[in-house]
């Protein structure tokens, strides 16, 4: 534990920020896992529908500053590439 007052405040605000962002990041991971699972099973329509929700979650997280906008674009691109590779 830090001794400096500003460092003590930083530790507190970091913990609050981490607690706020963790469930949002978990939902992003879950959404992308669902898309990947659907691409492996071959359900293209379901994968596309799930991709739309995952894309919205990624954009919202980028707007809020939880992830970087380029990271959101990269993740969306990789998921779209998997869907488009389906026959």
Who's near 52: CB < 8 A, 6+ residues apart?
none
Residues 32-74 have pLDDT tens digits of: 999 999 999 989 999 999 999 999 999 999 999 999 999 999 9
Q: What pLDDT band is residue 84 in, cutting at 50, 70 and 90?
A: very high
pTM: predicted TM-score of the whole model, two decimal places: 0.87
Domain architecture of the chain: domains with CATH: 5-84 (1.20.58.110)
Dihedral over Cα of 87, 41, 33, 59: its sign: positive
**Do residues 72 and 62 lie in contact, with contact meaning Cβ atoms separated by under 8 Å?**
yes
Share the mean pLDDT of the chain. 96
């Amino acid at each position: 534990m830090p001794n400096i007052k500003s460092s003590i405040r930083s530790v507190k605000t970091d913990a609050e920020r981490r607690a706020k962002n963790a469930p949002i990041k978990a939902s992003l991971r879950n959404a992308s896992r669902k898309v990947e699972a659907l691409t492996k099973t071959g359900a293209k329509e379901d994968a596309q529908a799930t991709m739309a929700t995952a894309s919205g979650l990624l954009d919202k997280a980028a707007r809020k500053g939880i992830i970087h906008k380029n990271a959101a674009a990269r993740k969306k691109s990789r998921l779209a590439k998997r869907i488009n590779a389906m026959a």
